[in-house]
Amino acid sequence: MRHALGLLALLPPLLTALPAAAGPTLEGVRARGQVVCGVNTGVAGFSAPDSQGNYQGLDAEFCRAVAAATLGDTAKVRFVPTTYQTRFVALQGGEIDLLARNVTQTLTRDTALGFNMAGVNFYDGQGFMVHKSAGLTAAKQLDGATVCVLPGSTSELNLGDFARREKITIQPVVLSSMDEMTGAYQSGRCDAMTTDASQLAALRVSALRDPAEHMILPERISKEPLGPMVRHGDEEWRDIVAWTLMAMIEAEELGITRQNVEAMRASPDPNVQRVLGVAPGFGKALGLPEDWAFQVIRQVGNYGEVFERSLGKDSPIGLERGLNDLWTRGGLMYALPLR
């Protein structure tokens, strides 16, 4: 028994945070002084260039957050616009360090394509946009309709599943880009277009000539958990990307914002101390400076702040938080413990 107790006494030191060895992706990021982030070619609210060519939106801000965590500076990020055809090739080939492009996380993308999911930053579902003049009120009324959809996407597969499930006939019109899809829809080449509901909301206000003439049908025909992806084989980098997202969600729950983050470093709350690096060890565990999450919140903000300015009720997109609210308010956003 004494021998067993002696062994148990050795366990607490083993449970302390050990320094992480820098993986090849982090080494590359540090060597070039830049995080290379694959984003969309342009979906308002997620990643789209503004009038000065600067990418804005939920995914673009997350890329900046990773730059703040790893290099201490949100400006040290290079955005690489990717299409549906090039997004996965760019990540597999090492052209980008991470893909933050409102991409659905699925089993085959995790396994066959060789990617690691690094958390969900937007819970979505696939929907349909139609002309109000068509008088449709439900997706099953699309029997016999032509529907614009993008190739190689979960939307294309879900559209076929939906038609079979509802025993209706839908003619897909497969187009290579979002611009082509919206153009075909506006010209009447297809009766509806389908993709994630959040993208439809963005397209409605940013790409259609008269937003008031279009509506998104109420049904969601799929689950679309969107989030950043990295390559298999570099667990240290996956940890950094995943915990950057967790820190942003945790900060919102703890009430840490861009405005009060400096003052919050004096908080006696041990949870706040761990997030902001006052309690040491958690930066070392990721191979980062102890203030990595402090820099993320100071320079980018917590998850709720980024959501509101990118997609929220007062933004041009005007989305409710819904499923993307904190778990304490009925949503699904729940950070793993930073401890």
In the predicted structure, residue 17 carries a pLDDT above the cut 60: no
Residue 14 pLDDT more than 60?
no
Average pLDDT over residues 214-235: 95
* Percentage of residues in the chain having pLDDT higher than 90: 84
Q: How many CB atoms lie within 10 A of CB 41?
A: 17
- For the entire predicted model, the pTM comes to 0.88
How far the first Cα of the chain sits from its last, in Å, is 31
Q: Check residue 2 and give its pLDDT.
A: 45
> Within its chain, how far is the Cα of 85 from the centroid?
19
Average pLDDT over residues 131-151: 95
Mean pLDDT of 148-172: 93
**What is the SS3 assignment for 26?**
helix
Residue 119's DSSP bridge partners are none
Nearest by Cα to 244 from 329, 302, 284: 302
Mean pLDDT of the region 68-96: 95
Q: Look at residue 21 in the predicted model and tell me its pLDDT.
A: 66
- pLDDT for res 241: 98
pLDDT digits (tens, 9 = 90+) for 39-64: 998 889 999 999 999 999 999 999 99
Percentage of the chain with pLDDT > 70? 94
What stretches of the chain adopt beta strand conformation (E)?
35-40, 48-49, 55-56, 77-82, 98-99, 115-117, 122-124, 126-131, 145-149, 170-174, 192-196, 214-216, 224-226, 229-231
pLDDT tier at 18, thresholds 50, 70, 90: low
Q: How confident is the model at residue 23 (pLDDT cuts 50, 70, 90)?
A: confident
User: What is the model's pLDDT at position 1?
Assistant: 47
The pLDDT tens digits for 266-275 are: 999 999 999 9
